[in-house]
A and B are shown apart, each in its own frame.
Chain A
Amino acid sequence: MDAVRLNAVTKVFREEGQPDLVAVDNLSLSIRRGEIFSLVGPDGAGKTTTIRMMCGVLFPTSGSVEILGLDQRSHHEAIKHKIGYLSQKFSLYGDLTVDENIDFFAEIHRMKDFRKRKEELLDFMRLTPFRDRLAERLSGGMKQKLALACTLIHTPEVIFLDEPTTGVDPVSRRDFWKILSNVLKSGISIVMATPYLDEAERSARVALLNKGQLLLVDTPEKIRSSFNHPVLEIIADHPREVLHILRNIPSIRSAQLFGDRLHVVAEEGAGIRDVLESELRSRGISARSIRRVAPSLEDVFISRIS
């Protein structure tokens, strides 16, 4: 039994006076139990809509969603007890304390004896010293951890996280991921939407969405190894100018700047290095190094989307 199954799910938003917006287009997907699964894609790709349909906040226009083998439409109430959802916005009560927020979420899930679990979670999130602090007075990273604690208090089997680390500093992000891997160890399946590809790399499997459509879904390793276009890394002075030149070379699929390095995805491997070198030299630029590298997820995704 899969944690989540989407069967040809389509979501169309209709608003009067505006053209129909197809947010998710005929999406089929299955997410296994016990895995951490990432949905990635540019803004407007349909990540949030997909997550919201999985949680039952929205229902698809056509197609069906199954959570833990149950149909989301017909077993809506039963599913609510088995899932946790962390929406994109910080959605806790700022005027309640850490403790009170957790209590509230435990109580609305009709939990009777949750003291022990609460203590565990507080300890786990390292929030115990702040338990009497109002949620609005917490730092961004702590708010996120509290939100996760509220999502986990009723021991769900699957949790859905919509861009949980957006707007959180890098240290807290790393912290958050450590916690997630512990959550995973306790047998909870995690589905998340994320704009960060380094987070996607850490997932068991990744789905790339663009304009509501599924472009590919696989483990990060397989995505990288099955990419059959060569990737070259170029180090040169004035990388921005170089980027501009590279983008106008027809045999190059895409070029990206990563810090001071340029990543180029070429159509064919044969002779590409010579083409690049001569093209740059003709503009009076000499590259300090051009070497072939293994593709990153980012290279693959950008080349697939552009």
Chain B
Amino acid sequence: MIHANIVPIFKKEFRQIRRDKRALGILVFLPAFMLVMVGYALNFDVKHLAVAVTDLDRSALSRELVERMTQSEYLELHHEVEAAEDIDPLLESGSATIGLVIPAGFSNDLLSGKEAHLQVLIDGSNSNTGSVAQGYISLAVRDFSNRVAMRWLETRGVSVPIAILLEPKLWYNPELKSAKFLVPGLFGLILMIVTVISTSLSIVREKEMGTMEQLKTSPLGSNEIILGKTIPYLLISLVAATIIMIVGWWLFDVTIKGSIPLLYLAVVLFLLGGLGQGILISNVAHTQQVAFIMSVFSSLLPSFLLSGFVFPINSMPGFLQVISNVIPAKFFLVIVRSIIMKGVGVAPIWEQFAYLAMFAFATIGISAVRLQRELSR
């Protein structure tokens, strides 16, 4: 067919979406809502850890240690207790995450050049928080012991140049905020769910209602039906994508460093793949319920677990790493993080672009062929 006749379906689809306020709300605002929820809830930043201290040394030096440790926003002095045993219940009840015991004679040992000991107890029941707490403590202790050593040398008239001064610079996300890392990831996850579910449902609904039968006897070709039914969802998803970006910028300070047109190109390619996947599901599913379940299982779970959204792919077992290579969200995430956070051009990420294009082409191609066969049975 030379002149594609997609306008009527297109118009009809928009009318139906507009009339179904709930569906429209889900398509446009649920993504932004999810972003806010997940953006705040899924937080790996470890701050304001409660510290309980037993200072058995009671010296100027021990007090300085405690003060220095708890002056950052990461560690906070919550309890000062008399005996080391009093720390246990605080850790047990969760009112302290870190227990610090400064033994008697701590400052004497330190000033007389002996090894001084500190006991640190960390609540490791949350492995993430535990390891981060350990990192903060060891950093703080090392910093303190350097200072003491310098002072000790200075009082003896020796000035030592510090041999190596470590000045780590964190690029792309200097404050290491997890929202900045998660928001671009969420972007992919949410768009995937919205497009796969909405396209598969919209097509299966026509089958369920019997209107597909009317379309089949009309002069519309299978391509026109597919295009007419999917393009509206593509456009709505683009609006949802824009809302996500605005909310991400507004609430989580996520700015797009790279080229916005390039980002939209990636989004369109990714959405086309999602649409293809939705159409493919609608070929197989005969009821909206089945279509919904298939959509969720084939888009939400893999996009959440195997895309590197939260869990690094490199630390997964081998077979999962292999499987992750067919998840478009994985490639999309690389692109989105690169463009949003690093501001790169197309050169370092062209392979991911090629994969997204391939995925979209394959799913749409297969489903068009299948629909064609179904129409001419």
Contacts and interface: CB of A to CB of B under 8 A. Distances in A.
A91 interface: yes
B217 A104 contact: no
Contacts of B215: 108
A32 B20 CA distance: 45
B209 A77 contact: no
B241 interface: no
B5 interface: yes
A81 B217 CA distance: 9
By DSSP majority rule, is chain A's interface helix, strand, loop, or mixed?
loop
Nearest to B19: A95
Contact of B219 (A55, A93, A108): A108
B9 A108 contact: yes
B376 A91 contact: no
A81 B218 CA distance: 7
B219 A87 contact: no
Contact of A107 (B7, B16, B216): B7
B211 interface: yes
Nearest to A106: B8
Contacts of B220: 108
A215 B20 CA distance: 49
A94 B16 CA distance: 9
B288 to A, nearest CB: 14
A88 B214 CA distance: 11
By DSSP majority rule, is chain B's interface helix, strand, loop, or mixed?
helix
A105 B218 contact: yes
Contacts of A93: 12, 16, 209, 211
A100 B219 contact: no
Contact of A96 (B16, B217, B377): B16
B213 interface: yes
Given A80-B218, A104-B12, A91 B20 contact: no
A91 B214 CA distance: 7
Interface stretch (A56-64, A138-146, A170-178): A56-64
B218 A96 contact: no
For this complex, into which size category does the number of interface residues on chain B fall?
20 to 34
A92 B211 contact: yes
Interface in B1-50: 5, 7-9, 11-12, 15-16, 19-20
Contacts of B217: 55-57, 80, 83, 85
B209 A96 contact: no
Interface string B347-375: 00000000000000000000000000000
B135 interface: no
A109 B218 contact: yes
A57 B213 CA distance: 7
Contacts of A283: none
A95 B12 CA distance: 10
Contacts of A85: 213-214, 217
Nearest to A97: B15
A194 to B, nearest CB: 18
Contacts of B211: 91-93
A104 B8 contact: yes
Contacts of A109: 218-219
A92 B206 CA distance: 9
A124 interface: no
A105 B210 CA distance: 14
Pick the most buried of A57, A59, A90, A92: most chain B CB atoms within 10 A of its CB: A57
B177 to A, nearest CB: 44
Contact of B8 (A90, A92, A95, A108): A108
Given A81-B219, A85-B214, A108-B218, A91 B15 contact: no
Interface of B: 5, 7-9, 11-12, 15-16, 19-20, 209-211, 213-220, 376-377
Given A93-B16, A107-B8, 9 more contacts: A58-B377, A77-B219, A80-B218, A87-B214, A92-B214, A93-B209, A95-B16, A95-B19, A108-B9
8 contacts: A57-B217, A58-B377, A89-B213, A91-B210, A94-B209, A104-B8, A109-B218, A110-B219
Interface of A: 55-59, 76-77, 80-81, 83, 85, 87-96, 100, 103-105, 107-110, 150
